[in-house]
Amino acid sequence: MKIGLGLYRRMLDRQHYDFAAQAGCTHVVAHLTDYTEGTESPHPLEDPLWTREGMAALAKDVRAAGLELAAIENFDPRLWHDVLIDGPRRREQMEVLKRIVADAGSAGIPVIGYNFSIAGVVGRTRGPFARGGAISVGMDGTDDTPMAAGEVWGMIYDPEAKGTLPPATHEQLWDRVTRFLAELLPVAEESGVRLAAHPDDPPMPVLRGQPRLVYQHWMYQRLMDLHAGEANAIELCVGSLAEMTKGDLYETVERFASQGRVAYVHLRNVVGTVPYYREVFIDEGDVDIPRVIDILENAGFDGVVVPDHTPTMSCDAGWHAGMAYALGYIRGVLQGRE
């Protein structure tokens, strides 16, 4: 397997590429959007980064630092909110997604990670949950706060919208993802791009009144069974799988790696399951990380592993220190196998 680093939009620069290379990475996974309140990036339809030229320039910049761009992670919520909620602009937004997938392919980007989620990554708390009181995230019970109309993924895309978003059912959500894949996978296949599904984070059946898609291990198989082609792939988040209440993590990793379905891996550790868990350092917690790496290697997985998130360490560069720690650990495990 290969080691990569996930970089948020604001980190897509030479300094962060050099940091990744110095920590032993050969690959980068890029987020083209910052969606956290207060750091929102420009609207993706007015943002050169989301064009073919922008993506090709990004891949070239990454290569200039001696790395490869392995994947783009997530569509900007403003690009596909009506695909997720089956709203009136669904058809038009699907056309934009097709254009982006085709552009990514011609820019030489082999994977786009996506998370088919209405509420997104919500309902988590922050605190000194990891070793030595390092700040990380966790969950302390569910979040039933209704979503506002005009909101997906914790991002307001329509400030004029009034009222709340009506709750959907699980069957409606599966119908939406089925149509999404049926329309987008042919373009992906033609463009040489794999669409890689992230499981729910946190993996709750319902959050903020909205259903979730892949919140138990077997639901990943249901998603893979929708289409046999290799473009229908998995962004295997080991941490999210470990937070689920049912299923054997090691069997699941083995199953999808040997099916050749894993496009890339998020590798992190955790204590507990939903709705009460804590994210911790890669070498503490419930997951036997060397065993996961063994399983992936033995199944012939040749893709990229990124640390996902890590606790923030107590120093002036807490994010960098956390990532360097996780990357050094992964590299050590891999070298120990040689």
CB of 91 to Mn ion, least distance (A): 30
Cβ proximity to Mn ion, 70 vs 165, nearer residue = 70
Give helix 14-22 / helix 318-337 axis angle, nearest 10°.
40
- Give the integer Cα–Cα distance in Å for 271 and 277: 6
**Residue 157: what residue type?**
Y
- Taking the least distance from each CB to Mn ion, the nearer of 165 and 234 is 234
Nearest one of 37, 131, 36, 72 to 322, comparing CA atoms: 131
Nearer to Mn ion, 165 or 242 (CB): 242
Which helix (H) or strand (E) segment holds residue 129: the answer is strand 125-130
Q: CA 225, CA 42: separation in Å to the nearest integer? A: 36
Minimum CB distance to Mn ion, residue 308 (Å): 4
Q: Under DSSP, is residue 107 helix (H, G, I), strand (E, B) or coil?
A: coil
Position 220, amino acid: Y
Q: How far is the CB of 13 from Mn ion (least distance, A)?
A: 23
Nearer to Mn ion, 23 or 236 (CB): 236
What residues line the site for Mn ion (CB under 5 A)? Answer: 237, 266, 308
Least Å distance, CB 271 to Mn ion, is 16
Query: For 89-115, b where at least 16 C-beta lie within 10 A, e where not — what string?
Result: ebeebbebbbebbbbbbebebbbbbbb
Least distance between Mn ion and beta carbon 273 (Å): 15
Dihedral sign for Cα atoms in the order 300, 305, 311, 316: positive
CB of 61 to Mn ion, least distance (A): 25
Strand partners, 3: 305
Is residue 48 within 8 Å of 54, Cβ to Cβ?
Answer: yes
The nearest distance, CB 122 to Mn ion, in angstroms, is 14
Q: Rounded to the nearest whole angstrom, what is the least distance from the CB of residue 278 to Mn ion in the complex?
A: 15
Read off φ and ψ for residue 332, nearest 5 degrees.
-65, -45
- The residue (of 184 and 267) whose beta carbon lies closer to Mn ion is 267
In whole angstroms, the minimum distance from the beta carbon of 121 to Mn ion comes to: 9
φ, ψ of residue 314 to 5 degrees: the values are: -80, 90
- The H or E element spanning position 98 is helix 90-106
DSSP string, 256-316: HHHTT-EEEEE--EEEEETTEEEEE-TTSSS--HHHHHHHHHHTT--SEEE----PBPSST
Nearest position to Mn ion, beta carbon: 237
